[in-house]
Structures are given as structure tokens and as C-alpha cells.
Amino acid sequence: MPEKDITEWLRESATFPRAVIADIQRAARTGIYDIRGFGAKRALPTFDDLVFLGASMTRYPLEGYRERCDTSVTLGTRYAKKPLELKIPVTIAGMSFGALSAPAKEALGRGATEVGTSTTTGDGGMTPEEREHSELLVYQLLPSRYGMNPDDLRRADAIEVVVGQGAKPGGGGMLLGQKISARVAEMRDLPEGIDQRSASRHPDWTGPDDLAIKIRELREITDWEKPVYIKIGASRTYFDTMLAVKAGADVIVVDGMQGGTAATQEVFIEHVGIPTLPAVRLAVEALKEMDMHRKVQLIVSGGIRSGADVAKALALGADAVSIGVAALIALGDNSPEFEEEYRRLGTSAGFYDDYQDGRDPTGISTQSDELAARFDPVKGGRRLANYLRVLTLETQTLARACGKNHVHNMEPEDLAALTIEAAAMAKVPLAGTDWIPGEDRPKSK
């Protein structure tokens, strides 16, 4: 008879569960806080707390697989001479060469290009591989300015001024020395093998008034051709969105706290920022208040996993979404194929989050030539393209069910909330009621 697991009858503390005890023990042992990749792992209010009200007697659905449901998106219509024309409302978020291997960056470009969307550089500059394989490439201007140069600025299709990211609004970055290979070091003008800080503030502007001038400089240098995005980590989203509009953004990217990172303190990932669900609603409110909704486009990111998430973000008013962690998983991150090696690293497929560590067995978040060589960018690109197609098909399915012939025609009125929290955050009624917490009068019947 097998021995009984004694933890079945022992009482675990709700205040000090095993994971908390293990973390205290780790801190006491190492004297260093935990730095890791991935995004927030704690349970948060998400798009899962919303449902669509499909067509019935009062709404007329579209025929699946027959009646067209458009998914095209144009980004950068406010000032740019050459806005980006995307075929699908899902883009690839900024992830650096340095955090990711060169073949992984190439695969992101291949996958995005195959389905007609854009990919984004990241902290550390633009690599020839990603430019070559990305039909549409957004070039990030980050506080560190690693690898920033006017040639790549002109080679880019759009420019994204990164003010913050959802995993760490208000925080900079740290790429640990084991990932600073000779090539990464050269691109960043730093010695090989040292820990390198990515600053939390830009070096040459300090507030929205300065940023407006900075953006005009970027436009001057690129002859007003490129759309300029401003990316913000979701925190004071309503006011940040307004200030980004005032600073002259063509596109605003709002990254919720579920957004991924390559290396951030665990305490930052789990305790700073607000979830994507309220962030999208706050950003849309700000745009509408300024009569800029759809004039300045809104991209929402942070924990987008499925076509349902995409559709709900769009229904709340976003123009597109962006994916990071989900794109890496589509490439092969956390694949059970590497379970044995994950075990040797003290983890398991489905739990791996040590993107900062450089020993990723999949060859994705590493600078080891040996590990990176395992990753096939052609196959990875195809997997990503497949995943992006599924996201798009799922989004269309939900839009058609609501009777919409363009994914942008979905609206908050198509949604109901399953929890009081989601109703309050998204400002859609609690299912079966007219109640939106915080609002005096019912919005709909």
C-alpha cells in the first residue's frame, strides 16, 4: 500500500503558504531579491471575467466562414506620412536582441511577416536579421539608447518611445552579465560579461512637455514619415494617455501588469501597475474625452493569450493588441520537448521563467551560441504565424457572432461582466443586471 501524503491532512498557513516560506528561505540564503522573466503569475482580474452577448433576437449575426469580417488596422494616421497597414489586429511586442537570441528574433519577424503584421526591436538596438525578416518593424527608443542610431531610425517603419512597460512601470532593466556576449556588448557599447543597467528615465527629456519636443525631433530626423508610438506601463493610465496624446503620439501602447519581461525583480512584476482589463478602459476613456479615439490608435498588451482576449480588448475600444510572452510560447518556449533539461535547471515545462539566466534549453532567451543553434527560425516563424492566424480566426468568430463585419465594430455594449470587479474595471454591466459599479444610473437594458 503506497505511503499516504501527509500534506493531505496537515494544515497549511494562508499567510505563509509553502511558496512564501520557500521565498523567505531563498532570500535568507542568497541575500538577493529574486529576478526573473515572464509576467505576473498571481491571479488577477482578466478578460476571462467578461463574456460576449452574441446575436439573438435583437442583433443579427454574420455567417461564419462566408460573410467577410475585416481585420485590417491602420496605425499612425495622425501625423505620419507613411502609416502602418496591418492585416491583423495583433502585433509582436518589443523584445530585445540580448534578452532573446538572434534566431528567435528572426523567427518573430518571419511569423509576423507571414500574416501581415509588425514586430518590434527592444532594448539593445536593431539586428540585421530582424530587419531582413520583418516586413514591418517598429524601432524602440528606450532610456538606455543602446544601439540607437539614425540609420536604423530611418530603416524602421515606425518608432516607439518607451516610457515604461507593464511588468515594471517606473523601473529600468538589468541584463545580467551571463547574457552579455561579445555581439550584445558591441551593440550596447559596454564591456563583455558585465551586468548592464537599462535606465528607468530617458537621458534627454524629463516630462511630457519635453517629450513633445523630443518627438518633433524624431519626426524631423525621419522627415515626418514614421508613425511615432508612445508605450506606457499601465498605472495612472487615464492621465498618461492624455499626456501621450498631448506629447504628439500617433499611437499609444498601454501595457498592463501581466506584460512580460526578460529580467525584473519579482516584487516589481507582481506588485506594480494595474491589470490590462481596467487599463484598456481607462485609455479609451481618455481618448474619447479628447475626441481622439480612433484618431490616435491604441494598442493594448499584457497577458493577451487567445482570440477571446483580442476580441474583448478591441470591443473595449483598442485598435490592436500586442503579444510578447504568448509569442515566445508559440515559438517553443516552455515546450515539454525539453522537460529533462528544465528539470536539470530546477524547473519544469510550463513553469520556466528564468529568461534572465541565459540557459534556456529552447534556445530562445539565451545568448549561448550552442543553445541558440537548437532553435530553427523557419519552424519557429511558422509556429508563430499559425498561432497568429488562430488568434485572428477566433477574434473574427466572436465579432461575427456579434454581427460585426469589422473587428473594430465590436463595442462595450457587446459585453457583460461575470464579476463585480470586472464590471467596475471595464465599466460594462454585471451579467444579468444593469449595474456598473460606480455609475449612478443603468447604462443599458
Partner 1 sequence: MLGTGTGDGLQLESLKLMRLFNLDEVSLRELNQALHDCNGSDEASAWTVTNTKGKHAVAAGIDAPLEVTVNGHVGYYCAGMNKQGQVTIRGNAGPGVAENMMSGLVRVTGNASQYAGASAHGGLLVIEGNAGSRCGISMKGVDIVVRGSIGHMGAFMAQKGRMVICGDAGGALGDSLYEARIFVKGEVAGLGADCVEKPMAEEHEREVAQLLEQAGISGVDAAGFRRYGSARKLYHFNIDNVDAY
Residue 213 in the binding site for partner 1 (CB under 8 A): yes
Residue 220 in the binding site for partner 1 (CB under 8 A): yes
Q: How far is CA 239 from CA 149, 259, 283, 286, 365, in A?
A: 31, 20, 8, 7, 34
In contact, 331 and 364? CB cutoff 8 Å: yes
Q: Residue 176: left if φ>0, alpha if ψ -120 to 50, beta else—which one?
A: beta
Measured CA to CA, the distance from residue 222 to residue 215 in angstroms comes to 11
Interface stretch with partner 1, choices 170-178, 249-257, 340-348, 425-433 (CB under 8 A)? 170-178
Measured CA to CA, the distance from residue 271 to residue 166 in angstroms comes to 11
Residue 373 in the binding site for partner 1 (CB under 8 A): no
Residue 55 in the binding site for partner 1 (CB under 8 A): no
Residue 22 in the binding site for partner 1 (CB under 8 A): no
Residue 223 in the binding site for partner 1 (CB under 8 A): yes
- Is the CB of 149 or the CB of 433 nearer to partner 1? 149
Interface stretch with partner 1, choices 44-52, 86-94, 219-227, 423-431 (CB under 8 A)? 219-227
Measured CA to CA, the distance from residue 119 to residue 66 in angstroms comes to 30
Residue 72 in the binding site for partner 1 (CB under 8 A): no
Residue 32 in the binding site for partner 1 (CB under 8 A): yes
Please identify which residue in 197, 288, 343, 379 interacts with partner 1, judged by CB under 8 A: 197
Q: Cβ of residue 195: shortest distance to partner 1, in angstroms?
A: 5
Measured CA to CA, the distance from residue 339 to residue 213 in angstroms comes to 51
Q: Which three cell numbers stand for residue 30?
A: 542568497
Q: Cβ of residue 127: shortest distance to partner 1, in angstroms?
A: 17
β-bridge pairing 118-120 and 90-92: unpaired
In contact, 218 and 153? CB cutoff 8 Å: yes
Q: Which three cell numbers stand for residue 95?
A: 523584445
Please identify which residue in 53, 199, 418, 420 interacts with partner 1, judged by CB under 8 A: 199
Residue 145 in the binding site for partner 1 (CB under 8 A): yes
Residue 54 in the binding site for partner 1 (CB under 8 A): no
List contacts with partner 1 (CB under 8 A).
Answer: 30-32, 144-145, 148-151, 153, 174, 176-177, 188-191, 194-195, 197, 199, 203-205, 210, 213-214, 216-217, 220-224
